[in-house]
Chain A
Amino acid sequence: MSHPDRETWMDYVYGEADHPESRRLEEHLASCAQCAEQVAAWRRTMGLLDECAEPTPAETRRPIRLGRVARWAMAAAVLLLAGYTAGRVSAPGRAGLAAVRADLAAARREVRDDVLAQARREMDDKALATLAACRSMTDERLAELVASFDATHRSDMVALATVTERELLRTQRQIAALAYEQTARAGEGGSQESGTPTEGG
């Protein structure tokens, strides 16, 4: 007895086989225990997949997605630092690392304030999409910046990049801590995010 191939059975079990094909396959099933067993096994597994209606449990989500806040903070920090670095590169006389640190500290404070303000606001999808776009564009600007580095400034830039990276990490940690405090305060106030996505389409 020749058996229909697995691809044909997939059409059948997922209801994509046309009527004549379905009838032919059903006739085969009636007379072939081997195929009948295989199709029954597939249907059992499909039934098990149906038991998992939700992709991932919503209750595992955090009230406020710190990851997201931290990423926006990073985006803002990168944007500021990129602008700062670009300014340094193009400046006729570059200051020492002490000045770099001072400027970065100011930038960090500014980022922190911005992030806290942002965290307080209700972040709707549109704002998030815009911020994400900013991040994407920031990445592009950074790539362009790196590409434009003059080889003669390479050593200076290595020093700057080292400081920048270190400051960036510090900023990230501080922002995460601040965002966490903000979340904790929000939690004490009884506010909860209600961001479970609704059915689309």
Chain B
Amino acid sequence: MESVGRVRSHTDSRGLHPGARAVAMTDEEAMARLRDEGDRRAFGQVVKRWRARIVRLCRRMLNDADRAEDVTQDVFARLLARPESYGHSARFSTFLWRVAVNACLDERRRNARSAAASPLAETAEAESAVQPSLLAAAVREERAELVRVALARLPDHYRAVVVLRHYEGLKFREVAEVLEIPVGTVKSRMAEALDRLAQMLEPLAEPGTKRKERQP
């Protein structure tokens, strides 16, 4: 994945806006302008660039489209209110992924009580195999839904690794930076997550279900 997103200012050439400069701006530069000059337009470009990806991350983490939207807004709103929270000690992308993942984990903790009755519950039976009877009539979307449910049933620390590595395409090293854990731990969690998912999705696994090999 790209380490630094480049955003381009959409100001016109007349220079009507005093803070508008038609220059390419990195996320880091945009955040610096927000922090130092209160340039919300620069921040708007950051939001435009990252919003869809953060929503997607939150949807996978929370398995709830509406809550994902809310958490995403909270993430950007907090950043807007406190731009100094990004200390420039890490790449902005790493920082933003971290903030979003933590926001999702907080959201899950806040809703732990209500989640007890939802598919996200991490109860003893949560990781039991999906009912084979459901699979007999499963069509493609149902299979996808079962995968979503299985993913949602993974404990948070496994799911975060799967979402960031498998779906968002971060390298293991980048996932380690985001989650602030050793890269070896990320890989072992990934392997463990795949094992648990395989157990939950065992009835879905057919000989023909094979992933195309990834090239180094």
Contacts and interface: CB of A to CB of B under 8 A. Distances in A.
Interface of A: 6-7, 9-11, 13-19, 21-22, 40-58, 60-62, 65, 67-68, 71, 125-126, 128-130, 132-133, 135-137, 140, 195, 197-201
Given A16-B172, A18-B216, A126-B44, A136 B53 contact: no
A10 B190 contact: yes
Interface residues of B, number: 62
B165 to A, nearest CB: 7
Interface stretch (B13-21, B107-115, B143-151): B143-151
A44 B66 contact: no
A56 B71 CA distance: 15
Given A68-B70, A201-B53, A45 B194 contact: yes
Contacts of A18: 216
A16 B49 CA distance: 26
Interface of B: 1-2, 5, 44, 47-53, 55-56, 59-60, 63-70, 73-74, 76-78, 80-81, 140-141, 143-145, 147-148, 151, 162, 165-167, 171-172, 184, 187-188, 190-191, 194, 197-198, 201, 204-205, 209-211, 213-216
A43 to B, nearest CB: 5
The 9 closest A-B pairs by CB, nearest first: A15-B214, A132-B77, A200-B52, A55-B59, A47-B211, A7-B187, A52-B147, A6-B191, A10-B187
Q: Which of B59, B63, B188, B211 has the most CB of A within 10 A?
A: B211
